[in-house]
Amino acid sequence: MNDTPPLLPVHVISGFLGSGKTTLLKSVLASEDFGDSAVLINEFGEVGLDNRLLGSIAEDAILLSNGCVCCTIRGELSDALRRLLSQRQEGLIPAFKRIVLETTGLADPGPIASTITADPVLRHHLRPGTNVTLVDALNASTSREQFPVWEAQVAVADTLVISKTDLINESELSDVQDLLDTINPAARRLGAEALGQPSDLLFASSPHLQSFTPSEAKSWLGPWRRVTTADSHDHLNEVRSFRLNFEGEIDWTCLGIWLSMLLNRHGSNILRVKGVLHVMGDNRPVILHGVQHTIHPPEHVEHWPEDDRCSELIFITRGINADRVTDSLNAFMRQVSDHPSPRIFHA
Amino acid sequence: MCGLCGALGGEGHWSTHIEDPEQAHSERRRARAYRITLINRVLKPHRVVIEDFQAASFVLATATGKREIVQELGGVWHQAEQLSGRLIDPLDTAFLQSLG
């Protein structure tokens, strides 16, 4: 019997400066659905919590009216998380069920997952949760051109919330959607209404949070191929997404060795990898999910869809094209594995 | 835990997580041995060898006798690069050809 308490998810809200992170966080804090949360932010002043503030309950921690705990990040994130866990364990703050972390607008949220999984204490209590990225529709194009971190924020997202859509016309919104399709076609999309009334969907995109049905496992990878309305994104020659398809079962050991090598050498340019895999000798689909250097512990889904047992693996990369990755994996599996290799091709 | 060196059994690397914890010890040992076999095929052109250490970690060794211990698969490549003085890049065509 396993009595180990479940790992608490650390959800991340990121987005470029002025994209609406604070508005979203205020709504989350005001919502009863997200009680029992601990919120980590960089400065209290940005969120303006004064009217909800009940009082200080521990050093750096404040109890909010909906039961949430709010703390500041001073110094290292890992220190802040450890302090939060320690205060929870000692009963100094309520026993929260999740942590919501708001990053600064200029931060790349990718390394947060590795902060949690690489820390010998944190990884026994916490797990990476859902990455929510706010996209300012009005300034998306400008931000992308001027700040490379904007692409990284979009690429790691499980959920994209598009804000300020009321300030642009339909054609401009379509361009923004195309831009997001080019970088991260697999992320769940929510509109600006999510800022005011965040629903359960906000943090529901992570495979850790739900037991997928067979069809949900495949839909988690997003549509097969989104149709963009223009070829105007040729200048997006840095960040790109592509999907590998496998015909045949996969030698998991061989794939794991190849992927760990790839991440060792190119992890900072593999912004995202996610897939549903048919592993040799395993009747259940395996869900693979990672951000930059960090791959989350793979999970099984109970069944394949009746008519679809094909493995798919999505990559979002910076400066690495689909041909190089496909050719590498094909050659590697063919030469290293003891088992027949699947045919691997990209879309 | 090994009483002599204090090493904890098992691996923390993500690639071992789909192995059933209830799986027979012999099955897990077989899977680990296969993993080591494949890694050795990859490291052979770099003249680095990997060996199991107490089913808890790995030892990397060079032909000149340099040895390093690593805890899990994630650390193997960085350490092998240090020992061999060469990058191990799966996207490098020359590296892929060296496997043949």
What integer pLDDT is reported at residue B9 of this predicted model?
42
> What residue type is assigned to position B28 of the chain?
R
Question: Does B46 touch chain A if contact means CB atoms closer than 8 Å?
Answer: no
What integer pLDDT is reported at residue B54 of this predicted model?
85
Q: A223 falls in which pLDDT band (50, 70, 90)?
A: low
- pLDDT at residue A233 above 60? no
Contacts A–B by Cβ distance under 8 A: 84
Identify the bridge partners of residue B50 per DSSP, sorted by sequence position. B60
- The Cα–Cα gap between A314 and A243 comes to 4
SS3 A246: strand
Contact at CB, B73 and A260, closer than 8 angstroms = yes
> What residue type is assigned to position A35 of the chain?
G
Question: Does A295 touch chain B if contact means CB atoms closer than 8 Å?
Answer: yes
| Chain A residues within 8 A of B42 when measuring between CB atoms | 257, 261, 336
Per-residue model confidence as pLDDT tens digits over A80-93:
899 889 989 998 88
- pLDDT at residue A206 above 80? no
The better pLDDT of the pair A257, A308 is held by: A257
Residue with tokens 């107490």: B54
- pLDDT at residue A245 above 60? yes
SS3 A24: helix
What integer pLDDT is reported at residue A320 of this predicted model?
92
| Chain B residues within 8 A of A265 when measuring between CB atoms | 77, 87-91
- The Cα–Cα gap between A192 and A346 comes to 33
Which residue does chain B place closest to A331, by CA atoms?
Answer: B96
Please give the share of chain A, as a percent, with pLDDT higher than 90. 31
**Which of B31, B74, B87 is closest, CB to CB, to A253?**
B31
Identify the bridge partners of residue A273 per DSSP, sorted by sequence position. A290, A315
Question: Does A300 touch chain B if contact means CB atoms closer than 8 Å?
Answer: yes
- pLDDT at residue A209 above 60? no
The better pLDDT of the pair A342, A114 is held by: A342
| Distances in whole angstroms, Cα of residue A233 to Cα of each of A139, A165, A240, A297, A315 | 16, 21, 10, 34, 18
- pLDDT at residue B87 above 50? yes
Contact at CB, A332 and B31, closer than 8 angstroms = no
- The Cα–Cα gap between B56 and B90 comes to 26
Per-residue model confidence as pLDDT tens digits over B2-60:
333 334 444 667 788 776 666 667 788 888 999 999 999 999 999 999 999 988 889 99
Contacts of A264 (CB under 8 A, 6+ apart): B74, B77, B78, B88
Per-residue model confidence as pLDDT tens digits over A22-48:
888 888 888 877 888 888 886 544 555
Q: A207 falls in which pLDDT band (50, 70, 90)?
A: low
Test the A interface: residue of B14, B23, B79 with most A CBs within 10 Å: B14
**Which of A264, A300, A335 is closest, CB to CB, to B99?**
A335
| Chain A residues within 8 A of B96 when measuring between CB atoms | 327-328, 331-332, 335
Question: Does A179 touch chain B if contact means CB atoms closer than 8 Å?
Answer: no
| Chain B residues within 8 A of A122 when measuring between CB atoms | none
What integer pLDDT is reported at residue A255 of this predicted model?
96
- Rg of chain B's alpha carbons, rounded to an integer? 14
A182 and A238 in contact (C-beta within 8 Å)?
no
Assigned token pair, B38: 């494949």
A164 CA to chain B: closest CA distance, Å?
39
- pLDDT at residue A111 above 80? yes
| Chain B residues within 8 A of A260 when measuring between CB atoms | 13, 15, 73-74, 76-77
Q: Which of B6-15, B57-66, B85-94 shows the lowest mean pLDDT across its residues?
A: B6-15
- The Cα–Cα gap between A246 and A346 comes to 9
Rounded mean pLDDT, A301-325: 86
Q: Which of A122-136, A201-215, A299-313 shows the lowest mean pLDDT across its residues?
A: A201-215
What integer pLDDT is reported at residue A260 of this predicted model?
95
A258 CA to chain B: closest CA distance, Å?
7
- The Cα–Cα gap between A321 and A237 comes to 9
- The Cα–Cα gap between A265 and A273 comes to 15
Contact at CB, A328 and B96, closer than 8 angstroms = yes
- The Cα–Cα gap between B55 and B11 comes to 9
A288 CA to chain B: closest CA distance, Å?
10
The burial class, CB within 10 Å (0-12 / 13-18 / 19+), for A223 is exposed
The better pLDDT of the pair A104, A307 is held by: A104
Identify the bridge partners of residue B49 per DSSP, sorted by sequence position. B61
Question: Does B94 touch chain A if contact means CB atoms closer than 8 Å?
Answer: no
> Which 8-state DSSP code applies to residue B71?
S
Question: Does B76 touch chain A if contact means CB atoms closer than 8 Å?
Answer: yes
| Chain B residues within 8 A of A127 when measuring between CB atoms | none
Q: Which of A95-109, A237-251, B18-32 shows the lowest mean pLDDT across its residues?
A: B18-32
Per-residue model confidence as pLDDT tens digits over A154-186:
999 989 999 999 899 999 999 999 999 888 888
Mean of all residue pLDDT scores within chain A: 82
- pLDDT at residue A8 above 80? yes
- pLDDT at residue A231 above 50? no
